Amino acid sequence: MAVLATMVGSAVGGNFYQDFDLTWGGQRAKIFGGGQMLTLSLDKTSGSGFQSKKEYLFGRIDMQLKLVAGNSAGTVTAYYVSNLSSQGPTHDEIDFEFLGNVSGDPYILHTNVFTQGKGNREQQFYLWFDPTKNFHTYSIIWKPQHITFLVDNTPIRVFNNGENRGIPFPKNQAMRIYSSLWNADDWATRGGLVKADWSKAPFTAYYRNFQVTPVSSSRSRSSGEFGNGDWQSNALDASARRRLRWVQKNFMIYNYCTDFKRFPQGLPTECK
C-alpha cells in the first residue's frame, strides 16, 4: 500500500494511468489521451468509478470535471477523499457530490464532512455557471487546521478543526481519492420524484488535470483568487473571505447549521 503521509516536495501533476485504478463498471470507465483524460459513464445496467493508487495525508487536491449534460436527473457524480477501507467508527470522508437535474434546471453541489464515522454536515449550493458546458476545477484543501472546498479557486466552504471543543477532525488517517457516476434516482432529484430518463443514456462525465500539491510547497501570491494565492496560511485572506461570503449569500441552498427542525435538541457544536 502506497502512503504519502504529510506530503512534501513540489506539486504532482497527474496521469490517470499512473495515479488511478478503474475499479468498477467495466468499459464504462475509460482512460485515454495518453492518460490525460478519464471518462465515467452510467447506463441502466451500471455506473462506474475509479480510485487513486496512493493514499494522501493533507495537501491540496485539484480535479477538473465536466458534468453530465442535458437531462441528468437521477444521476450523481461523486468526487471525494475517504478511508473507505475503514468504515464504521473510524470512517473519515470529504465529499463533493453533484446531483443531476432535468434539462435547464441547475445542478446541486452537495458537500459533506465525515469524521470518526459521523457525517450529517451537509451544505448544498447552486453553481454560478453551467458545469456541463466546460471543465471547471473542484478542489479540496486538507490541512490539520481546516478543510476548504473550492470551485475554480473560489472558497465555498470551510470546516475548521474544532478538537479543542470536542469535535473530531480528520487528521490521523491517510485517504484515497475516489470518484463515481451512479444511479440515485430514488433520492437525488427532488427527493426521488424525478427519475432517470434511460433513453438519454449513457450519461458521461469527464475528468482531466488532476494535481496534488503538498502542504509544504510554496506558491506565488496573486490577488483575487484564494487558490492562486498563499493557501498555505492558516486562514483565508480578506479577498477569499469576501468570495466565501458571496457564494454563501447568493448560492447556498441548504446549511445543516441552520436546520433547527433537523436538530430540535440544538444545533451541532461546530455550528455555534
Residue 247, H or E segment:
helix 238-250
Residue-wise DSSP of 35-56:
TTEEEEEE-SS--EEEEESEEE
Of 93, 122, 163, 270, the active-site residue reads 93
Nearest of 75, 110, 74 to residue 94 by alpha carbon? 110
Q: Residue 198: is it exposed, middle or buried by C-beta count within 10 angstroms (0-12/13-18/19+)?
A: middle
Give catalytic status of residue 93 as yes or no: yes
State yes or no: is 225 an active-site residue. no
> Catalytic: which of 97, 163, 225, 270?
97
Q: Select from 67, 65, 60, 51 the least CA-distant residue to 179.
A: 51
Query: Are 89 and 116 a contacting pair, CB within 8 Å?
Result: yes
Catalytic site positions: 93, 97
